[in-house]
């Protein structure tokens, strides 16, 4: 790809990049899975940096509530209910028309993740749930592609860079996914835009280090930041190698075989979808109700919890199975499950 010397002159002046690094950026490809809050930071940063190719993967569309923190989008995108990947690709074309950008409007899963990341030099995590993150981890480890995990909720966020074969993977550090309903999400606890900017920027910088060939500069840690309470914590991982007991590091890619992903079945004639969690363990209805009450009508007994929001009726059972009425679309049902039930 032909680089405009004046456009990238300030970046080239930065010694760790220089002309050689800029040339490498122009020949590199990144896959961004999740084009909302964190993903928007990745897309904006890498597009302005002059990356050669961007593949943008997202199953969702732009809503009014996204505009407070998802910096890629404008009111017109929400009014048109554009798919996030499409709206983000259009913005990339306005930012830097020389970039080859490919929007992919799909629900990333075990059946397509390997195809989605094919040809990538780095993968950035802009997702909102652990099922897809553990799946990305498996796919990236199998393909030998570095990937950068990130998460943010409230004023708190964390990030970690995974380089297959050169250190621990996400499963080495987190080991197991939290059980359904056990943790806050952006839709239950809220989120402020500054933490999105901090975590997304760290992820983007790590991606640039990888793409210009400066792996020695990677932070090699699990970084935790709470902006509201101004707390910063860094767990050093530089002395750790691939986990000897880690399934993914040993080549046992359970999540590529469908482990952990909520199974979804359209219920014929009922305008409803059943989402079934593969994880064991019951749900604490009292705690889940406490988080959902500010958002909509909630009621529960010892057997199930019912929640109504924005035209959807969500019934959650003790085994974490949910029936979501008001849609027959599996992707929409999974999105709602991740927002309100999933960790």
In a domain, 137, yes or no: yes
Q: How far apart are CA 261 and CA 185, in angstroms?
A: 17
Domain stop point among 257, 291, 307:
257
- What's the confidence (pLDDT) of residue 278? 62
Total domain count for the chain?
Answer: 2
Q: Are residues 210 and 295 in the same domain?
A: no
Q: Are residues 251 and 312 in the same domain?
A: no
In a domain, 4, yes or no: no
**Distance, CA of 231 to chain centre:** 23
Domain stop point among 257, 280, 305:
257
Q: Are residues 188 and 285 in the same domain?
A: no
Instruction: Point out the residues of the chain with pLDDT beneath 70.
Output: 1-5, 178-182, 260-262, 267-269, 278-281, 343
Q: Are residues 152 and 219 in the same domain?
A: yes
**Distance, CA of 178 to chain centre:** 16
- What's the confidence (pLDDT) of residue 317? 83
Domain stop point among 235, 257, 279:
257
Q: Are residues 107 and 122 in the same domain?
A: yes
Whether 38 and 129 have beta carbons less than 8 Å apart is answered as no
- What's the confidence (pLDDT) of residue 188? 74
In a domain, 59, yes or no: yes
Q: Give the domain CATH number at 327.
A: 3.30.310
- What's the confidence (pLDDT) of residue 277? 73
Q: Are residues 130 and 240 in the same domain?
A: yes
Q: Are residues 73 and 145 in the same domain?
A: yes
Q: Are residues 95 and 243 in the same domain?
A: yes
In a domain, 180, yes or no: yes
For residue 30, the enclosing domain spans 9-257
- What's the confidence (pLDDT) of residue 165? 94
Q: Are residues 39 and 159 in the same domain?
A: yes
Q: How far apart are CA 82 and CA 204, in angstroms?
A: 25
Q: Are residues 75 and 209 in the same domain?
A: yes
Please tell me the pTM assigned to this model: 0.81
- What's the confidence (pLDDT) of residue 174? 85
Q: Are residues 204 and 162 in the same domain?
A: yes
């Amino acid at each position: 790809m032909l680089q405009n010397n004046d456009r990238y002159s300030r970046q080239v002046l930065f010694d760790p990049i220089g002309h050689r690094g800029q040339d490498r950026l122009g020949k590199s490809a990144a896959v961004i899975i999740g084009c909302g809050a964190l993903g928007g930071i990745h897309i904006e940063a890498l597009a302005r940096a002059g990356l050669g190719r961007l593949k943008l993967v997202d199953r969702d569309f732009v809503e009014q509530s996204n505009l407070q923190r998802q910096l890629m989008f404008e009111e017109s995108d929400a009014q048109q209910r554009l798919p996030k990947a499409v709206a983000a690709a259009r913005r990339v074309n306005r930012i830097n028309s020389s970039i080859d950008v490919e929007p992919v409007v799909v629900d990333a899963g075990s059946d397509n993740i390997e195809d989605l990341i094919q040809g990538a030099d780095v993968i950035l995590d802009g997702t909102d749930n652990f099922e897809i993150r553990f799946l990305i981890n498996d796919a990236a480890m199998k393909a030998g592609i570095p990937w950068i995990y990130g998460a943010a909720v409230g004023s708190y966020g964390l990030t970690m860079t995974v380089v297959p074969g050169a250190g621990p993977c996400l499963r080495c550090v987190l080991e197991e996914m939290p059980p359904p309903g056990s943790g806050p999400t952006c839709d239950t606890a809220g989120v402020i835009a500054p933490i999105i900017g901090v975590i997304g920027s760290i992820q983007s910088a790590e991606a640039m280090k990888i793409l210009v060939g400066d792996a020695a500069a990677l932070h090699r840690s699990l970084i935790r930041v709470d902006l509201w309470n101004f707390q910063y914590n860094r767990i050093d991982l530089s002395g750790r190698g691939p986990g000897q007991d880690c399934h993914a590091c040993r080549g046992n890619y359970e999540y590529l075989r469908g482990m952990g992903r909520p199974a979804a079945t359209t219920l014929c004639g009922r305008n409803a979808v059943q989402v079934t969690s593969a994880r064991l363990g019951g749900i604490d209805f009292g705690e889940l109700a406490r988080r959902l009450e500010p958002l909509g009508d909630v009621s529960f007994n010892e057997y199930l919890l019912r929640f109504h929001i924005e035209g959807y009726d969500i019934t959650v059972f003790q085994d974490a199975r949910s029936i979501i009425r008001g849609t027959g679309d599996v992707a929409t049902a999974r999105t709602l499950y991740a927002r309100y039930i999933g960790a």
